[in-house]
Amino acid sequence: MVALSVILGAVVLLLAVLVAGLLRSHADILKALHDLGAGVGDPVGDAHVHTSGPAQAGAQAVPLTMGPALAADRDSTSAPTVAGVTPTGDALAVAPATAGGLTLLAFLSTGCASCAGFWESFRRPEQLGLPAGTRLVVVTKGPEREIPGEVAALATPGLAVLMSSDAWTDYEVPGSPFFVLVDGTAGRRVGEGVANHISQVAELVRRAEVDTAAFTLDTRPGRDVGIDGPARESANDQELLDAGIRPGDPSLYPTSIEDLYGPPDARMPAARHHVRRAG
């Protein structure tokens, strides 16, 4: 019984020493924060009293910040242009605040486990559930932090992927995955946050789209011009090939008006016919 009491007393004594050590450590941390001007419940006036004393003459109140400070012309809703490189070595810049419509910036990494589901979802863009016209741009950290080959392996063709560490700083991204929705018509961020599944993100975008559509008038025409884009140029190339005209064909490099329209007596057959009949 005596032995048990002695052991119990020793344990209590040991725990007391540990608690005292923790309290001392906590006090040191609070003191350090206090000296930095970020003490909990520490009013500015109180800091002034402490820093103006002779013993604290060298101390200055320094605001506690997380990461680099934002530029003076930016705030939590600004949406600066994102510029960087693609995994294949091209350059790409996206200006979501001035481009009109909604742009969803998906800040992803190659290594984070929770990002894998999003990379996989982006392989099937038709199943994402994003409103039509929403532009999706994946932003990874720059080539100094990510391996372009690994990013390229995850990026499906047709998906805009941009590598830029500056973009993570500009948008104050705390970690990945992180999503920012920008309304280009209003020129500002309208939503941001973390999600576990693409359906959560799609729901956020759908709600924003409803709000945007209710209060904006898009003046861009969106003209129907039939076959367009690279498909139009490919069709033109095929037409030329079918006609036996290959790159470098002399007919592509006319040097005179005759090269374009033939000799003068061969032009405008209808007019020539008319002249003959009149004569």
Contacts of 96 (CB under 8 A, 6+ apart): 79, 81, 82, 103, 105, 135, 137, 182, 184
Nearer to other proteins, 20 or 257 (CB): 257
**Contact letters (x/-) for other proteins, 205-244, by CB under 8 A?**
--------------xxxxxxx--xxx-xx--xx--x----
Could you identify the residue written with the tokens 């904006």? 216
Retrieve residue 255's tokens. Answer: 């040097």
Render the burial of 124-140: b for 16+ CB within 10 Å, e for the rest. Answer: eeeebebbeebbbbbbb
Nearer to other proteins, 66 or 260 (CB): 260
Beta carbon of residue 152, minimum distance to other proteins (angstroms, whole number): 13
Retrieve residue 54's tokens. Answer: 């002779």
Beta carbon of residue 88, minimum distance to other proteins (angstroms, whole number): 8
Nearer to other proteins, 46 or 233 (CB): 233
Nearer to other proteins, 46 or 237 (CB): 237
How many of the chain's residues bind other proteins (CB under 8 A)?
42
Retrieve residue 126's tokens. Answer: 């038709």
H/E element, 11: helix 2-35
Rounded CA-CA distance 249/176 in Å is 52
Nearer to other proteins, 177 or 184 (CB): 184
**Contact letters (x/-) for other proteins, 83-102, by CB under 8 A?**
x-xx--xxxxxxx--xxxx-
Beta carbon of residue 158, minimum distance to other proteins (angstroms, whole number): 6
**Contact letters (x/-) for other proteins, 132-171, by CB under 8 A?**
---x----------------------xxx-----------
Contacts of 208 (CB under 8 A, 6+ apart): 102, 181, 183, 190, 191
Q: Beta strand 102-107 with 91-94: parallel, antiparallel or unpaired? A: unpaired
Rounded CA-CA distance 249/97 in Å is 45
Rounded CA-CA distance 72/192 in Å is 21
Nearer to other proteins, 47 or 137 (CB): 137
Footprint on this chain of other proteins (rule: CB under 8 A): 80-83, 85-86, 89-95, 98-101, 103, 135, 158-160, 184, 219-225, 228-230, 232-233, 236-237, 240, 246-248, 252
